[in-house]
Amino acid sequence: MTVRTSPPGATVSIDNQVVGTSPAATSFVHYGTREFRIEKNGYRTEVIRRRLNPPWYQWLGLEFFSETLWPGELRDERIIDVQLVPKELEPVEDLMNRADSLRNQSKAGIITAPP
For residue 80, give the CATH number of its domain. 2.60.40
Residue 73 lies in a domain: yes
Residue 53 lies in a domain: yes
Residue 93 lies in a domain: no
- Render each residue's pLDDT in the chain as its tens digit; 115 residues: 899 999 999 999 999 999 999 999 988 777 889 999 999 999 999 999 999 888 766 667 766 666 666 677 767 788 889 999 998 888 889 889 988 988 888 888 877 766 6
Residue 44 lies in a domain: yes
Residue 97 lies in a domain: no
Residue 103 lies in a domain: no
CA dihedral 92, 93, 95, 99 (to 10 degrees): 130
Residue 101 lies in a domain: no
Residue closest to 10 by CA, chosen among 34, 57, 60, 45? 45
Count of domains forming the chain: 1
Question: Which residue type occupies 115?
Answer: P
Contact 21, 39 (CB under 8 A): no
- Its domain, for residue 59, covers 2-87
First to last CA, the chain: 37
Q: Can you list the positions of beta strands (E) in 1-115?
A: 2-6, 11-14, 17-21, 24-25, 32-39, 46-52, 79-83
